[in-house]
């Protein structure tokens, strides 16, 4: 009976009709064939196998971790039909073969693949693989590198004479007392709903895994230094928190992002350090980031830069859920829910049961016994109803609530009926319904904006919202078209801005520019809010901005990010200008620009507003700032304050303290008053 030909592996590096695989990458069928070859090899040491149509070759290369482009040390070709083998020793040869693209030989989940693939990308970028038939031996490879003025250092390709630094990535891991900000945002935005499994890719010391596990999630993590034996398997959500910013090789960043994404079944959260939130004066520039005194690397991203990087690497448009925090989705229903929540107003209202306020002679009393008996269940249901602005369908009830109601022998319909009685303030539900309807309207209007994600069908929960609040999808779209049209009309914007100013939600910076604090966005009139959100779509989200300037007469906005927006004199670190008419975005990072007279633009109900206005009044009295908010740059302001301390009148101690510490919080500067 003839010996069957070797199986053709699914993965591996293919050269001609042969496939090269690392010893760790063998599937069951290939392993069976290789074991037959090993049985004929008489103890031959190997780490790579070449599977050809009529033979199997066992190859020994230099260690993959130690050598960037491993040299072939020895080979043993085995003819399985004849049962014969032939060995070749390359150790004493002056010009042995070498291996390129070694990551392709490894299994898909091998943690070394990002680093090795980054080396390949760098070689391609330098044009080293332009003629693959002329780089197969050590001499050819060395000569090519020399001709281009390059050398290999570790797993990097650097110019001859350039510095190559070993970065201590593991030192960036820090202990956490609480759940990290990216995971908190994932919970808040619904990216991490109950029952979700979580893989923390690059988990550091594992505090997020511990916190999530304690909260009832199935969570596990892996880290190349702190948890190298941690499981690497698929999960509903992958957390890639503050990993990309500590990787000094830009190619490896992209490969790391792609590998982490391969483990995500529903979504991935990506977080990185952002510009403007750290003092860089003591750091040393290196590549596209900075080196710290501890030998670690930090890359500080702009919000738009991080968004573009994720989209380019994954081919998926991410959603911003925080400053420097984005979510990417495979599950498009989940993405719709999160997108809606991200654009919707925040509903924060008391949700406890309230005593009935009614004419008891005209209304039948509810069943107090049952209502009191299931009070916690009714409060849970009421919270869910207020969040939706409507009664829930039975399959929308939280699973644990259904179980608790079943145990009490109460149907979902009966529980809903009790919630819709005067046990609760029905005006609260009506207000939530009005807000939910407006949020849906804005969402549908934004779907018509270029660059917004589009879906063939709505998520089931949103379909129910549409039926409740609009009657039909067509009716919702028609109303949304009218809203989008109004958001493009200067008169409608002017009317909305006038209403916002009257409501104390911001102020006019000049006769054509409305400035407001970003936390008040969801309280603005619909047309104004929609224009700002459309600008956010082009910017990559409104997250990270502290103030927005909206032009009334033309479709242009400026997103302003401050070093510390709570400071008396916030320092502007980034201004993103968005031209909606031309779909153009430009980013400016001004040097030492101060946002003066901040109190004018805070909402009227802000606890800090009166104190800030008093500070602004003294600043104006000192003649440092003009009434239209123009003033010196930070360094000029500090120099002016130093001169005035010498005895010149007109500047209060409060103003001097704020100028010296322009990012100090309000509470820190009260003592200077």
The string of pLDDT tens digits covering residues 207-236 is 999 999 999 999 999 999 999 999 999 999
The helix or strand, by DSSP H or E, that contains position 252, with its residue range, turns out to be helix 250-262
- Supply the pLDDT for residue 465: 92
Contact 477, 469 (CB under 8 A): no
Backbone φ, ψ for residue 50 (5° rounding) = -115, 115
Task: Return the axis-axis angle of helices 399-407 and 375-388, rounded to nearest 10°.
Answer: 150
Per-residue pLDDT at 515 exceeds 70: yes
Report d(CA 588, CA 577) in Å as an integer: 8
| Mean pLDDT calculated for residue range 504-509 | 96
Backbone φ, ψ for residue 229 (5° rounding) = -95, 5
Mean per-residue pLDDT of the chain:
87
Q: Cβ atoms within 10 A of the Cβ of 389, count?
A: 23
What residues have CB less than 8 Å from 315, skipping those under 6 apart? none
Say whether 403 sits in a helix, a strand or coil. helix
| Mean pLDDT calculated for residue range 39-46 | 89
Helices (H), 288-425: 303-314, 332-343, 368-373, 375-388, 399-407, 412-419
Q: What are the C-alpha distances in Å from 262 to residues 63, 238, 245, 527, 616?
A: 26, 9, 20, 40, 52
Per-residue pLDDT at 250 exceeds 50: yes
| Mean pLDDT calculated for residue range 551-579 | 93
Contact 68, 152 (CB under 8 A): yes
Report d(CA 229, CA 213) in Å as an integer: 18
Q: What are the C-alpha distances in Å from 321 to residues 46, 177, 303, 324, 594?
A: 49, 22, 11, 8, 27
Backbone φ, ψ for residue 482 (5° rounding) = -65, -40
Report d(CA 602, CA 608) in Å as an integer: 8
- Supply the pLDDT for residue 490: 93
| Residue 149, Ramachandran bin (φ over 0: left; ψ between -120 and 50: alpha; else beta) | left
Contact 85, 77 (CB under 8 A): yes
Backbone φ, ψ for residue 425 (5° rounding) = -80, 105
**C-alpha 512: how far from chain center:** 34
- Residue ranges covered by each domain of the chain: 1-164, 169-330, 335-355+368-483, 488-673
Contact 528, 497 (CB under 8 A): yes
**pLDDT tens digits for 397-450?**
987 899 999 999 999 999 999 999 988 999 999 988 998 999 999 989 988 887
Task: Residue 594: name the closest of 544, 535, 547, 649 by CA.
Answer: 547
Backbone φ, ψ for residue 605 (5° rounding) = -95, 10
More confident residue, 448 or 202: 202
Contact 306, 593 (CB under 8 A): no
Contact 206, 185 (CB under 8 A): no
- Encoding tokens for residue 398? 């939280």
Q: What are the C-alpha distances in Å from 563 to residues 273, 323, 458, 545?
A: 13, 12, 39, 10
**pLDDT tens digits for 495-506?**
999 999 999 999
Say whether 140 sits in a helix, a strand or coil. helix
Q: Cβ atoms within 10 A of the Cβ of 274, count?
A: 22
Residue 275 binned pLDDT confidence (cut-offs 50, 70, 90): confident
Residue 15 binned pLDDT confidence (cut-offs 50, 70, 90): confident
Contact 237, 191 (CB under 8 A): yes
**pLDDT tens digits for 281-335?**
778 888 888 888 788 888 999 888 899 999 999 999 899 888 889 999 999 889 9
Report d(CA 578, CA 587) in Å as an integer: 9
- Supply the pLDDT for residue 668: 34
pTM: 0.70
Contact 173, 225 (CB under 8 A): yes
CATH number corresponding to 169-330: 3.40.50.150
Contact 165, 286 (CB under 8 A): yes
Contact 19, 29 (CB under 8 A): no
Contact 244, 272 (CB under 8 A): yes
Per-residue pLDDT at 456 exceeds 90: no
């Amino acid at each position: 009976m003839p010996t069957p030909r070797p199986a053709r592996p699914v993965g591996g590096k293919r050269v001609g009709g042969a496939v090269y695989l690392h010893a760790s990458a063998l599937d069951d069928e290939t392993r069976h064939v290789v074991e037959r070859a090993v049985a004929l090899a008489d103890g031959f040491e190997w780490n790579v196998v070449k599977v050809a149509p009529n033979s199997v070759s066992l190859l020994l290369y230099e260690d993959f971790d130690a050598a960037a482009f491993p040299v072939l040390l020895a080979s043993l070709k085995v003819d399985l039909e004849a049962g014969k083998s032939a060995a070749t020793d390359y150790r004493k040869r002056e010009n042995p073969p070498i291996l390129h693209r070694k990551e392709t030989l490894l299994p898909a989940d091998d943690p070394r693949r990002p680093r090795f693939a980054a080396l390949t990308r760098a070689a391609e970028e330098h044009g080293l693989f332009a003629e693959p038939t002329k780089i197969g031996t050590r001499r050819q490879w060395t000569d090519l590198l020399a001709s281009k003025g390059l050398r290999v250092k570790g797993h990097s390709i650097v110019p001859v004479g350039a510095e190559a630094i070993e970065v201590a990535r593991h030192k960036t891991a820090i202990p956490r007392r609480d759940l990290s900000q990216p995971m908190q945002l994932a919970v808040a935005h619904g990216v991490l709903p109950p029952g979700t499994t979580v893989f923390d890719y690059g988990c550091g010391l594992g505090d997020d895994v511990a916190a999530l596990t304690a909260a009832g999630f199935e969570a596990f993590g892996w880290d190349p230094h702190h948890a190298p034996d941690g499981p690497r398997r698929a999960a509903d959500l992958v957390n890639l928190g503050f990993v990309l910013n500590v990787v000094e090789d830009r190619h490896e960043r992209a490969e790391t992002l792609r590998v982490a994404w391969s483990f995500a079944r529903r979504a991935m959260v990506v977080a990185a350090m952002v510009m403007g939130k750290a003092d860089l004066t003591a750091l040393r520039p290196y590549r596209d980031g900075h080196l710290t005194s501890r030998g670690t690397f930090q890359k500080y991203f702009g919000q738009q830069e991080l968004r573009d990087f994720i989209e380019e690497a994954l081919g998926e448009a991410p959603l911003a859920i925080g400053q420097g925090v984005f979510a990417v989705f495979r599950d498009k229903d989940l993405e719709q829910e999160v997108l809606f929540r991200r654009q919707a107003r925040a509903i924060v209202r008391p949700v406890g049961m309230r005593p009935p306020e009614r004419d008891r002679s005209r209304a039948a009393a509810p069943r107090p016994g049952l209502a009191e008996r299931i009070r916690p269940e009714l409060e849970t249901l009421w919270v869910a109803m207020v969040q939706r602005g409507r009664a829930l369908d039975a399959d929308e009830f939280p699973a644990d609530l259904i179980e608790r109601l079943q145990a009490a022998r109460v149907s979902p319909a009966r529980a809903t009926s009790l919630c819709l009685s005067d046990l609760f303030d029905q005006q609260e539900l009506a207000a939530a319904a009005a807000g939910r309807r407006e949020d849906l309207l804005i969402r549908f209007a934004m779907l018509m904006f270029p660059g917004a994600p589009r879906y063939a069908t709505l998520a089931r929960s949103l379909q129910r919202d549409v039926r409740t609040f609009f009657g039909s999808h067509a009716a919702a779209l028609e109303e949304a078209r009218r809203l989008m049209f109004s958001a493009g009309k200067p008169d409608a914007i002017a009317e909305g801005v006038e209403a916002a100013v009257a409501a104390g939600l911001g102020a006019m910076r000049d006769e054509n520019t409305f400035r407001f604090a970003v936390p008040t966005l969801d309280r603005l009139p619909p047309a104004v809010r929609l224009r700002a959100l459309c600008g956010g779509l082009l910017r990559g989200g409104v997250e990270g901005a502290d103030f927005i300037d909206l032009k009334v007469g033309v479709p242009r906005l400026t997103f302003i990010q401050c070093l510390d927006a709570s400071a008396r004199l916030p320092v502007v670190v980034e201004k993103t200008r968005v031209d909606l008419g031309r779909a153009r975005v430009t980013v400016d990072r001004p040097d030492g620009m101060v946002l003066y007279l901040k109190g004018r633009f805070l909402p009227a109900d802000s606890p800090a507003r009166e104190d800030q206005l008093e500070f602004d009044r003294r600043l104006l009295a000192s003649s440092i700032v003009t009434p239209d908010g123009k003033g010196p740059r930070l360094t000029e302001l500090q120099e002016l304050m130093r001169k005035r301390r010498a005895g010149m009148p007109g500047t209060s101690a409060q103003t001097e303290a704020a100028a010296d510490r322009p990012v100090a919080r309000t509470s820190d500067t009260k003592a200077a008053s």
